[in-house]
C-alpha cells in the first residue's frame, strides 16, 4: 500500500469490465462537455477497440486498488496495426497507453503511479516506446509530460506523445 492509500497490481482478464469503465472516465475527462454514456463508448468501434478482448497476447495493464481491494484506476497498453491505427498511433510496435482514474482519486498520485509502474513493466518486457493521444486542454497532459512523454505530432486540439523507455 502506498502512502496515498492505494496499491498496484497487474491487470488480468477479469478486469476487462473495469478497464471499460476507466475508458469511459478517460473519454469523459471534460466535465463541461455532455457525458458520453458507457453504452456508447462500448458500442463505438473507435473507442471499444481499446478494451475489446482484453487481454490480447503480450498486452500489459496495471490496476490501482484502494485499501479494501476495490479498483480505483487503471493504465493499460494496446497495439494497433498501421492499417487500423488508434488515436495515438506511432508505429505497429509502439503500444498506446490508456489511463483512467475514478474522480474521487484524481490528483492523489494514482495516475502517475499507474504510468510509472506500467512503464517499468513495459521496459522489462522489451518495449522501447509507448505512445498516447491527449487533448491539449486535458489536465492529464501535464501528468504525461511529468512522466517523460514528449509531443511527436500535433493536431488541431490534441497531441500524440511518446515516451522512450530505458532498457
Q: Does domain 6-164 have CATH number 3.40.50.1220?
A: no
Q: How far apart are CA 97 and CA 20, in angstroms?
A: 14
pLDDT band at 58 (very low <50, low <70, confident <90, very high): confident
Domain boundaries, the chain: 6-164
Q: What is the DSSP letter of 14?
A: G
> Which pLDDT does position 94 carry in this prediction?
97
Mean of the pLDDT values across residues 107-132? 96
Q: How far apart are CA 23 and CA 39, in angstroms?
A: 12
Q: Which residue has the higher pLDDT, 157 or 58?
A: 157
Mean of the pLDDT values across residues 43-67? 94
Other C-beta atoms lying within 10 Å of the C-beta of residue 147: 20
Amino acid at each position: 500500500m502506498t502512502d496515498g492509500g492505494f496499491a498496484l497490481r497487474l491487470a488480468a482478464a477479469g478486469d476487462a469490465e473495469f478497464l471499460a469503465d476507466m475508458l469511459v472516465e478517460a473519454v469523459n475527462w471534460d466535465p463541461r462537455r455532455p457525458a458520453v454514456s458507457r453504452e456508447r463508448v462500448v458500442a463505438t468501434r473507435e473507442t471499444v477497440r481499446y478494451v475489446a478482448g482484453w487481454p490480447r497476447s503480450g498486452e500489459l495493464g496495471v490496476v490501482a486498488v484502494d485499501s479494501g481491494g476495490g479498483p480505483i484506476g487503471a493504465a493499460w497498453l494496446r497495439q494497433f496495426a498501421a492499417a487500423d491505427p488508434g488515436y495515438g498511433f506511432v508505429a505497429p510496435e509502439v503500444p498506446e497507453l490508456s489511463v483512467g482514474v475514478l474522480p474521487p482519486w484524481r490528483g492523489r498520485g494514482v495516475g502517475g503511479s499507474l504510468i510509472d509502474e506500467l512503464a517499468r513493466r513495459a521496459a522489462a518486457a522489451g518495449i522501447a516506446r509507448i505512445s498516447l493521444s491527449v487533448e491539449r486542454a486535458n489536465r492529464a497532459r501535464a501528468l504525461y509530460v511529468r512522466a517523460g512523454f514528449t509531443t511527436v505530432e500535433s493536431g488541431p486540439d490534441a497531441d500524440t506523445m511518446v515516451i522512450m523507455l530505458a532498457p
